């Protein structure tokens, strides 16, 4: 296994010295990088696809004028998280208040799931990277003691390879896990903040729906 890894990783001396455990660590770092960039694009760069400015106010104006079809067209055209939540509200506007509220909450949960995509995997990769670093420490020490049992403690160069493997894999695991955990925490906070803003707009729609809902006519003369 070590001979195979040394041949494969020979163009990268540091990876070669870290032993075969460096292979899953490299895979973890690649996944972390891909997820971090993708979530950055979705949650920060394209945040208007989640909470576009002016959409709620436009829909509110249309609903107050009684233009339900146009309000539905506006929310559907926006293709945003807020638009889908408002569209759900428009479709269920004539339903009782508790049903409308339940449907809005369900739409909000679906959008929350979309925003949280891959975050669970990101947290898992942080933990796995730490454990892989620990595994590399163990395999490096095993290799070290194997060298000692075969050649004795009088060969510093041979001993250094086992120590280097233990230290390099530990450092690699920490280098991957620490920024991954920070990114996970930041994105989780960002999602909670956006979810709170969407919930606020859903509550405003619920209040608006109560104001524009047609009032039942009293029985004539009774």
Residue 170 lies in a domain: yes
Query: By mean pLDDT, which of 14-23, 53-62, 112-121, 124-133 is the weakest?
Result: 14-23
Residues 19/169, Cβ–Cβ less than 8 Å = yes
Residue 202 lies in a domain: yes
Residue 222 lies in a domain: no
pLDDT tens-digit series, residues 100-147: 999 999 999 999 999 999 999 999 999 999 999 999 888 888 877 777
Residue 102 lies in a domain: yes
SS3 track for 9-49: CCCCHHHHHHCCCHHHHHHHHHHHHHHHHHHHHHHHHCHHH
Q: What is the pLDDT of residue 221?
A: 45
Q: In terms of residue numbers, what domain contains 76?
A: 11-212
Which pLDDT band, with edges at 50, 70 and 90, does 93 fall under? confident
Residue 109 lies in a domain: yes
Q: What is the pLDDT of residue 158?
A: 67
Q: Could you tell me which residue, 7 or 36, shows the higher pLDDT?
A: 36
Q: Is the pLDDT of residue 29 over 60?
A: yes
For residue 117, give the 3-state DSSP assignment: coil
Q: What's the number of domains the chain is made of?
A: 1
DSSP state at residue 220: T
Mean of the per-residue pLDDT values for the chain?
A: 87
Residue 183 lies in a domain: yes
Residue 159 lies in a domain: yes
Average pLDDT over residues 47-52: 92
Q: For the chain, what's the residue count?
A: 222
Average pLDDT over residues 23-30: 94
pLDDT tens-digit series, residues 161-217: 778 888 999 999 999 999 999 999 999 999 999 999 999 999 999 988 877 765 555
């Amino acid at each position: 296994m070590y001979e195979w890894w040394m041949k494969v990783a020979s163009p990268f001396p540091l990876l070669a010295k870290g032993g075969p455990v460096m292979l899953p660590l490299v895979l973890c770092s690649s996944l972390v990088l891909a997820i971090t960039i993708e979530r950055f694009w979705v949650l920060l760069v394209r945040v208007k696809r989640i909470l576009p400015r002016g959409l709620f106010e436009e829909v509110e104006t249309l609903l107050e004028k009684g233009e339900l079809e146009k309000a539905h067209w506006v929310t559907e055209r926006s293709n945003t998280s807020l638009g889908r939540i408002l569209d759900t509200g428009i479709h269920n506007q004539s339903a009782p208040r508790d049903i409308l509220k339940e449907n809005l909450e369900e739409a909000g949960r679906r959008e929350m799931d979309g925003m949280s995509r891959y975050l669970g995997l990101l947290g898992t990769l942080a933990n796995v990277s730490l454990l892989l670093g620990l595994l590399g420490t163990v395999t490096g020490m095993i290799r070290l003691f194997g060298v000692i049992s075969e050649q004795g403690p009088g060969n510093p160069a041979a001993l250094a390879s086992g120590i280097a493997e233990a230290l390099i894999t530990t450092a690699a695991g920490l280098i991957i896990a620490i920024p991954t955990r920070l990114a996970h925490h930041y994105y989780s906070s960002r999602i909670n903040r956006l979810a709170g803003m969407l919930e606020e707009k859903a509550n405003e729609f619920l209040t608006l729906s109560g104001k524009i809902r047609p009032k039942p006519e009293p029985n004539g003369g009774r």
